[in-house]
Amino acid sequence: MRVEIWMDVVCPWAYIGKRRVERAVADLDVPVEIVWRPYRIDPFAPVPAEPLADALGDPVADDALRACAPGLTPAENRLRVDRIAAKEGLGPRWGAGWRANSHDAHRLIALAEPAGVQDAVVESLLRAHFIDAVDISDRDVLAGVVGDVFPEGPALLAGDAGEERVRELLLEGRARGIRTSPTIVVGDRALAGAQPPAVIAEFLADGGERRPVPAEVERYRWTESLLEQRDPLGALVLLRPLLAEHGRDRSVRLLAARAWYASAQLGRARAALEELVAEHPADAFAQVLLGRTLQRMSRGEEAGPHLRLSSAMRQSA
């Protein structure tokens, strides 16, 4: 069974959730592969990090903390998390010391996957942040944290290794509706939050391995999801491999045109749509989108025929 866990290493519930998943998995009769995926609870955390005590007065940080526990103040939530962490055996000391940007940590986690040491890297990072209370946004600190389990990892951070992978995974998570750290995903099912081990075990026992879907179909669906969420630039990032491999596919070209239009890249949208309507003049959607693109380019006279044609096709349908 393949289990994806979407989480942020600066989220205390991620560490609590990891312990609970480990207990739940131990009671299963099937082998489980756990894969760690990135989620950012505080994407605006500074580099270099700032002491958490100072950050707690920052309205942005306060909003991020309140989002983790609706209905509780950050102070109330910290006390609750402290008690739960102690019950899970996390300690003896517990508590982050820094408001740290987790971007490089997520790069290490992504790079550790093909090396087969992802879980060890995640454990090292969580322990460093919440028990050792060190600044995991500092690359020298990261080298010491993961050096024993992933010795080649720190050197990779000097370049751009893992940058594109993490960016794509964050967009994929958003497209798939990941909204909480941690979120456990099996197949098409998701379990949000650090649930008790019994709840996690029941969720995993229900299976949920999805039928194989071609990778390009999944990517197409994620791109559509980001467009629906009004993130056309993110959609174009996910669409890039499809354009490279299936750039002549009509659906891919139309999806790209939608993203270019939505991101105000009107010249590119116009070029793609003019080609599409020349090849498929009965495509009412391409006609209307071309008309609207030309309107936004202040070319109303050229837009008119496409808008009238698309209207006529819709009325006769």
Q: What is the pLDDT of residue 75?
A: 72
Quick: pLDDT tens for 234-274. 999 999 999 999 999 999 999 999 999 999 999 999 999 99
* Domain extents in the chain: 2-205, 213-263, 267-317
Which distant-in-sequence residues (6+ apart) come within 8 Å of 203 by Cβ? 184, 186, 189, 191, 195
pLDDT at 172: 98
- At residue 64, the pLDDT reads 62
| pLDDT of 314 higher than 90 | no
Tracing tokens 């991020």 back to the chain, one arrives at 64
Cα–Cα distance measured from residue 69 to residue 90, given in angstroms and rounded to the nearest whole number: 20
Lowest mean pLDDT among 19-23, 47-51, 63-67: 63-67
Q: What is the pLDDT of residues 151-191, one digit of tens each?
A: 999 999 999 999 999 999 999 999 999 999 999 999 889 99
Instruction: For domain 2-205, give the fold.
Output: Glutaredoxin (3.40.30)
For residue 71, what pLDDT is reported? 72
Question: What SS3 state is found at 106?
Answer: helix
Percent of the chain, pLDDT > 70?
A: 94
Which own/partner pairs from 191-196 qualify as long-range (CB within 8 Å, at least 24 positions apart)?
Answer: 193/13, 193/17, 194/13, 194/14, 194/16, 194/17, 194/20, 195/17, 195/20, 196/20
Per DSSP, the residues of 137-148 read: TSHHHHHHHHTT
The model's pTM: 0.91
List the one residue out of 124, 125, 127, 119 whose CA is nearest residue 89.
Answer: 127
Return the biggest CA–CA distance within the chain. Answer: 73
- pLDDT score at 66: 61
Mean pLDDT of the chain: 93
Residue 232 contacts residue 226 (beta carbons within 8 Å): yes
Give CA–CA dist 312/20, Å, rounded.
59
